[in-house]
Amino acid sequence: MNLRNIAIIAHVDHGKTTLVDALLKQSENFKIKTDNPTDLIMDSNELEREKGITIFSKNASIKYKETKINIVDTPGHADFGGEGPMPQTKFVLRKAIEAGHKIIVVINKIDKSDARPNWALNATYDLFIELGATDEQIDFPVIYASAVLGKAGTEPDLKTMKNIEPLFQAIIDRIPAPKADKNGPLQMLTVNLQYDNYRGRIAVGRLYSGVLKKGAWVSHINRRGEIKKVQIANVMLFDGLNRIDVPEAVAGEIVAVSGIPEISIGETIAALENPKALPIIHIDEPTIKMTFGVNTSPFVGREGEYTTSRNLRERLIKELETDVALKVEETDKADRFIVSGRGELHLAILIEKMRREGYELEVSKPQVIFKENENGVTEPIETVSIEVPEEYAGVIIEMMGKRLAKMKDMNIDNHTMKMDFEIPTRGLIGVRNEFMTSTKGSGIMNTLFSGYAPYKGKLAESTHGSIITTETGITNNYGLVSAQGRGKLFMGAGVEVYEGMVIGENAKSRDELVNVCRQRELTNFRAKNDGLQDQLEVPLKLTLEDALDYIHDDELVEITPKSIRIRKRYLTENDRRKAAKEKKTEAR
């Protein structure tokens, strides 16, 4: 059978996962049926469906006219939309161009009323030239598509499109079969990791040379160049979205293998004799860290199944099996771990997965990872690309300036302002909520890690304080009406709270203590308005990301399968005073 290996390069919200789904559903070997025809098969994870983004890389294969097409659908998010080329699209496309790959340009979403396919095509030509593409690469085929409708064509006219077949044909005609030598020495590069409860860690990658057989003894060359003799337990190929066991795989295929528990991304499986490593894939280092700990609130164990330090440790270690961008460190306390990742979203996704699995935990405020060299302290820097309606440009420039961002480029197109900034990663913590509020949900922001640079100076701190409950009990209208005069509440009546829990945001910079469980005193006299129901403002419901953005250094987010609560690190006022006094003494 003929073979093609392809990857989808596009930024978040360009519709690449929807496009892959259209290819799957119209392929000759499609067998999966869903209850909802609008479901994205490739976004099979519950979190992916809710957030509408691809979080986990996946592999699939399809068949078209006796040709097998292996597809990798990768995350487009910086941690793990809009029209036109975005920063990550540039980064990945540059790598593809440098590698000499042939490229098909698919202009998607032409069914949109404001679609501008000609503009998008011209912008893509400019991008190829900017990235140093050869004349042959710039002479790319163009396919116009509406992935959501499952249609494609060589002209931007929906009326003439019937199905996705023109894209299939372009892949067969323009993408060459993989260059591979099945008679050469064994060489496979691991590009992805999966985990199976029975087979353990599974390495996925392209077999560049040789034949890989089940039960064979091979060399595992790790990132440090160390070579270890290992035995392949299983060899698998992809069929649709499934892995199927095979006795052997030949060069050119995308292969999955088990039996090497210590293998990681970017490492090589090679022949026993004269093993040679393939070029190592660089993995970006973590830039954000948080403390993960067992839940110590008065409500511990009420809503979750896994609450011990052993439960937490085992779960974090398990995550390392497939997430090589994650780092977990022990601390001097058995129930506390430092967890580092590629950004707020990266860590928030892990926390959300854990709470849905039944874990209770508490986490600290996200912090940037600084480094020191001979010239002093350095910090991670991000490239930020922003698109907003023209009328919001001023407020966004002001917002970014307060976060130590420097504008690198700005232009306007069709009343849309496009701006590029360089900003310290710590300036991005909490920025997305402020950005969406400032643009009334109409803005687009994308980020890309660009490296470390000298420390950029002190960042303006948040000016809000917290409203803290002094009692354990049930909130009621009377207590909440009194508290809402101090700021914005996070909850309504009938909610169980405990002493030291943060139940709202104070408009002023100091913390305020309130009793939201306080009942109205009953008297023998009826006041003029006693019979009227107390009116409460609609509380601000915090998501996990909101809570992580909100908290101060002396606060924690308590996470359970049913609740997300903000609390003070020290729950009683007396303990908070003692901690503040000790901190002042240490500072001296």
User: What phi-psi label fits residue 272: left (phi over 0), alpha (psi between -120 and 50 degrees) or beta?
Assistant: alpha
What's the Cα-to-Cα distance from 489 to each of 48, 473, 539, rounded to whole Å?
A: 30, 17, 5
State the CB neighbour count (10 A cutoff) for residue 412: 11
SS3 assignment, position 355: helix
**DSSP alpha helix (H) spans, 131-272:** 135-138, 165-174
- Would 371-454 and 465-587 be classified into the same CATH topology? no
How far is residue 97's CA from residue 95's CA, in Å, rounded to a whole number? 5
How far is residue 266's CA from residue 193's CA, in Å, rounded to a whole number? 10
How far is residue 236's CA from residue 246's CA, in Å, rounded to a whole number? 6
Which residues have C-beta within 8 Å of that of residue 115, sequence separation ≥ 6? 109, 156
B/e letters for 49-86, b = 16+ CB within 10 Å, e = fewer, are: eeeebbbbbbbbbbbbeebbbbbbbbbbbbbbbbbbbb
CA-based diameter of the chain, in Å?
A: 98
What was the pLDDT predicted at 54?
42
Q: Are strands 2-7 and 67-73 parallel, antiparallel or unpaired?
A: parallel
What was the pLDDT predicted at 31?
58
How far is residue 48's CA from residue 496's CA, in Å, rounded to a whole number? 31
Q: Which of 458, 450, 466, 482 is nearest to 553 (CA)?
A: 466
- The pLDDT tens digits along the chain (588 residues) read 689 998 888 765 677 778 888 888 888 766 554 444 445 554 444 554 454 444 344 678 889 888 999 987 554 333 333 334 444 567 678 878 888 889 999 999 999 888 889 988 998 998 899 889 999 999 999 999 998 899 999 999 999 999 999 999 999 999 999 888 899 999 999 988 888 888 988 999 999 999 999 999 999 999 899 999 999 999 999 888 788 999 999 999 999 999 999 998 889 999 999 999 998 877 778 999 999 999 999 999 999 999 999 999 999 998 888 888 899 999 999 999 999 998 888 898 899 989 999 999 999 999 999 999 888 999 999 988 888 999 999 999 999 999 999 999 998 877 889 899 999 999 988 787 788 888 888 888 888 888 899 999 988 777 789 999 999 999 998 889 888 888 899 999 999 999 999 999 998 889 999 999 988 766 555 554 444 345 788 898 888 888 998 898 899 999 999 999 999 999 999 999 998 888 777 766
What is the CATH architecture assignment of 187-270? Beta Barrel (2.40)
Topology (CATH) of 371-454: Alpha-Beta Plaits (3.30.70)
Q: Say if CB 480 and CB 528 are below 8 A apart.
A: no
Q: Say if CB 150 and CB 26 are below 8 A apart.
A: yes
Q: Is the full-model pTM beyond 0.75?
A: yes
Q: Are strands 234-239 and 288-293 parallel, antiparallel or unpaired?
A: unpaired
State the CB neighbour count (10 A cutoff) for residue 460: 9
What residue has token string 């609130």? Answer: 297
How far is residue 126's CA from residue 131's CA, in Å, rounded to a whole number? 9
- Spatial strand order of the sheet with 234-239 comes to 227-231, 217-221, 268-270, 187-196, 200-209, 254-258, 234-239, 242-246
Q: Say if CB 555 and CB 498 are below 8 A apart.
A: no
Which residues have C-beta within 8 Å of that of residue 147, sequence separation ≥ 6? 15, 18, 19, 21, 22, 108, 109
How far is residue 336's CA from residue 294's CA, in Å, rounded to a whole number? 7
- How many residues make up the chain in this entry? 588
Which residues lie across from 248 on neighbouring strands?
213
Topology (CATH) of 465-587: OB fold (Dihydrolipoamide Acetyltransferase, E2P) (2.40.50)
State the CB neighbour count (10 A cutoff) for residue 183: 10
Half-sphere exposure of 67 (CA within 13 A, CB side): 18
Tokens standing for residue 17:
């996962």
Which residues have C-beta within 8 Å of that of residue 332, sequence separation ≥ 6? none
How far is residue 201's CA from residue 321's CA, in Å, rounded to a whole number? 6
Tokens standing for residue 70:
């292996």
Q: Say if CB 271 and CB 190 are below 8 A apart.
A: no
One CATH from 3.40.605.10, 3.40.50.300, 3.40.50.1820, 3.30.300.30 for 2-174: 3.40.50.300
What was the pLDDT predicted at 13?
62
Domain extents in the chain: 2-174, 187-270, 371-454, 465-587
What was the pLDDT predicted at 11?
65
With 0-12 / 13-18 / 19 or more C-beta atoms within 10 angstroms meaning exposed / middle / buried, residue 515 is middle
Q: How would DSSP label each residue in 101-148?
A: ----EEE--TTSTT--HHHHHHHHHHHHHHTT--HHHHS--EEEEEGG
